[in-house]
Structure formats: C-alpha cells, structure tokens
Structure 1
C-alpha cells in the first residue's frame, strides 16, 4: 500500500520534470490550489436525473471516496494534505455539474466497498473497473478505458504481445485486481498448452517491488498502464513492454461507482456525457496524460468483466 511519504517522494521528482513525446508537455502542477483544474457548469438535466429520494452523505456536497497515493490517479499536493490528480479532476467535473461542493475522502482499496455501502461517501472515483460481480452491489457510470501494461527494467529487451510471451517469467501483480485474474488465466492457458508456468509475485511495498525489477528477481510488473507510465516517465527506470485492455480479450472500462439503487448513476452518467460533448472531459484527461484512455460516451452499468 503506497504511503503519503511515497507520494511525496514522487512529488519531489515530478515538480521539476518536463516531459516530451507521449509524456507531459509541461511541468506538472502539484499545488493545492490547482489553478489549471478544469471546471464544469451546472447541468440541470443531470440534476433532474438524480432520484428525488437519493441520499447524499452531506447536504450540498458530493463526497467521493478515493484510494489516494498514486499519480496520475490521485496523490497529495505540495501541502501534503490536498488530494489532486486525474480522479479528483473528474470528481470535480461531476460535482460542478450536480451543483455541489466536492469533498474527497481518502480510503484504502480494501475499505472502499464498505465505505460506499455504509453511506460514508456518495461515490467512489478510484480507478474501479466495471465487473459483473461488482454490479450486483454497485451502480456504475463509465469515464475511462481500462488499459493495463507490462513494465520492465529499462535495459530489459522483453516484449509482451500475447499470453505465450509470459510463459516461465516472474511477474509482479497486485492481489485482488482484475489484472491478477487476467494473468492467472494467461497462466492456465499456457500450462494447458505445455508451456512453463508463470511465477506470480506479490509485494505490498513499492520500493521493494521496484528493487525486485532492478535486481532481476522479477521480470515484469503488470498493472494499470496510466500509473506505471507516469512512474516510468518520472524516474526513467522502467519501460513499457506491452499493453492491452484491462478486460482482455474484451474492452474494460473504469467507472464512477455508487451504491446499487441509490439513484445517482443516471445523473452522473449524463453529467459525464455533457463534459465529453463540451470538451472539458478531454481537457481534464490531458492534464494527466490520459488522453489515450478517453471514452466516446459514458454508459450506466454496461457489460462488465465476467466472473473468473
């Protein structure tokens, strides 16, 4: 689990960075004020689509749970308190559209389902992928494609395009994630084909994880492409060896997550679509180098990743 100290270490590296090509074209703004954050006008139709009996955690506030600590999704600003990043920017657009003040509540990944179900926050905006299992308890409003990436030590020539390319390799992945499910399916497919099994590795500490890549104890790290691309650009220690949809072999999407039947999803979906049409959505993604993961239309409860 990344700590605030880990986040601040990344902030220190990012504060002077100027990236080119596919990375950032200008220095990253880490100020708590976020003057470049894109804002949205009030969306009366989105407000109308919120159920009349919908309950919010606080009057006049859109309270959002977020697993804070990893850029570009969300991390702490230079004041070490304010949460900034791509997810807070998206949350701000939705809050503005609904005519509410945004409040971000930092929570662990393991705790967000309970926090949402208990009403501690109205929505979770924290790189949550739509799955059929999650749809049993939650509603979804999609806002970004889910892309995964295999990242390796910068000097490692490894290229990964298909399941057989990882046979016999030592691969790091986070437990309980959809990328873990995909990697295990790839492994099953390879073993049945007579190929060597994958050695799956799990780490709770990012420092230890990247030491494993540096030392050769692990061959690759499979995770959210946006997150790993950001880190690779900042530190120059790793590179992309291959990427694919987080729903391999089908499309997977990231979504604003709300309580099942809470009456919020349709309004949030409409708010996102309004921002897609008027261009503010594209600007918000571009701030954090996520344009490649933009969607053409937000959908409420689309087909999700199937059960494992």
Structure 2
C-alpha cells in the first residue's frame, strides 16, 4: 500500500510519541536472560523486507546481515533462534508488547528511541543518503524542492528526509524498503532516501530492467546500529553487549558486515572488541 504525504516535520515526533504512550500503557514484559536460557530460544524481531539487512533468498530462506548477526549471537548464547518477522514501523512496538526479546533490524540508536528502549553498544553502522540517477541535478537538500522522494515509512531515512527536505518536497512513504524499491524499478520515481547498501540492492534491480543506477547525491547522516532491548532488562542487555564485544574481537561481526555491505565496520565499532 502506497501513501503519499506532503512534508510533515512533526511525523517522526508523533510516531515516537505514540511509541512512548504505548510503553507507558503496556509496560514491557520481554523475557529476561534467565527465561531465554530456560526456554532455550531467543526471539529476534527482524524486518525481512530491508535488504541487505533482512530478506529472503530464492528458496525463501531468511538471510541478510541482521539475520546472520542474530544467528551468530543465538549460537553463542547456546539457544535456538526464532526470527519474528516485523516491519520498520513495528520494530519497537514488537519489543514493547513482548512479541520479541530483542530487535536486530537496522535500528539506529537515537535519543528519542532511547527514551523508550535500551540499546546495546553498536554492532554495525548505517548511512542515510539521498540517491538519484547521475543526470538528476541534486547537490544539496534544497535541490529536492518540487521533486518526489521515495522512502520506507518509520525508518531513520524517513525521519531524516522529513526533517531536512525543503518545503515543496513530495515524500512518498511505503510500508518497507522492498515495496519502495519496487516502485522505483517500475518507474514511479527515481529519487530514494535510504542506506547505501539498500541503494546497491536497488541498483541490481534497475540494471536487470535496463535502467540507470542511482548514485549518492547527499549524505544526510551516519548512524550507529544497536540491538534494542526492553527497559528494566539489564541482564539480557549486558549479555548482548558481552556477545557483541566477543564477536567483534573474533572478527565474526566484521566478516558478516563485509559480506553484505562490501566494506569493513567503522573503526570506532571494531574498537569495542579490543
């Protein structure tokens, strides 16, 4: 389902406010570390429509950098991984309503989100960019006035373009990156607010359809990704931090990131494992 809105700089604040109200009305009761270990299952919310973080391969098997990260941490914890499919907008609500124990789903660490959930130390990083064909005359955010920008609703990319785009920008929001990418490949638009890895996946689809690739025009922000854990669950939070440090030190997390993103983790993240 496609929904088109004019620029609405209050959208992100309203969404976070709704999440905060949900947290107040329904206190989080996610499983503790002890319960996870007793049940021998870690429930991880992952958006499987956000390549290359979460997706399904040709045989419909879950894959992606967040999926492999979840598999690695569950293995090190000695429990079975249960993937709880979610959407970008429902990542935090799933945690608050005990549909998942943790969220590993390209969730950027922001002060607003930290008011609602706790975050581990960063396990990966993500840039938020505006991408368009080389022929598009875009060198700054002000050049988006009068243009249409595609993005996935409820993401950091959505929040960034909503906050930074000038008046007159038409922001078209989709339920997830997969449907937004389909809209671009089908010719509904050619400007995208997303992460470089998502743009790379989109460019593969564009090439298959004989269309020019998108290139980064503007870098809006560089953000750290953390694992979301319900508040008042300190043992599980610290265990996740311990496992992240262990797998950073071993190089396993960096190998996953390089496999799907074509680059090494930022030095400041790798340093957490030393």
Band of TM-score, shorter chain: 0.7 to 0.9
Partner of residue 67, structure 2: 88
CA distance in 1, matches of 2:157, 2:66: 20
Q: Which structure dedicates a bigger proportion of its chain to helix?
A: 2
Partner of residue 69, structure 1: 49
Residue 240 (1) aligns with residue 205 (2)? no
Alpha-carbon contact 1:269-1:298 (below 8 Å) kept: no
| Pair 185,116 (structure 1): closer, same or farther in 2 beyond 3 Å | closer
Could you say what secondary structure the match of 1:287 adopts?
helix
Alpha-carbon contact 2:102-2:227 (below 8 Å) kept: yes
CA distance in 2, matches of 1:207, 1:177: 14
Residue 106 (1) aligns with residue 85 (2)? yes
Residue 166 (1) aligns with residue 144 (2)? yes
Specify every segment of 5 or more residues in structure 2 that has no aligned partner in the other structure, as ranges. 3-30
Alpha-carbon contact 1:67-1:74 (below 8 Å) kept: yes
1:1-308 equivalence runs, <5 A: 54-56=34-36, 59-80=39-60, 82-141=61-120, 142-153=122-133, 156-158=134-136, 160-187=138-165, 190=166, 197-204=168-175, 205-206=179-180, 209-210=183-184, 214=187, 218-236=189-207, 237=211, 238-244=213-219, 248=221, 251-263=222-234, 264-292=236-264, 294=266, 296-297=268-269
Specify every segment of 5 or more residues in structure 1 that has no aligned partner in the other structure, as ranges. 3-50, 192-196, 301-308
Alpha-carbon contact 1:285-1:294 (below 8 Å) kept: no
- Which of structures 1 and 2 has the bigger CA Rg? 1
Q: What's the RMSD between the two structures over aligned residues?
A: 3.1
Alpha-carbon contact 1:225-1:243 (below 8 Å) kept: no
| Pair 288,172 (structure 1): closer, same or farther in 2 beyond 3 Å | same
TM-score in terms of structure 1 length: 0.66
* Per-residue deviation, 1:298: 7.3
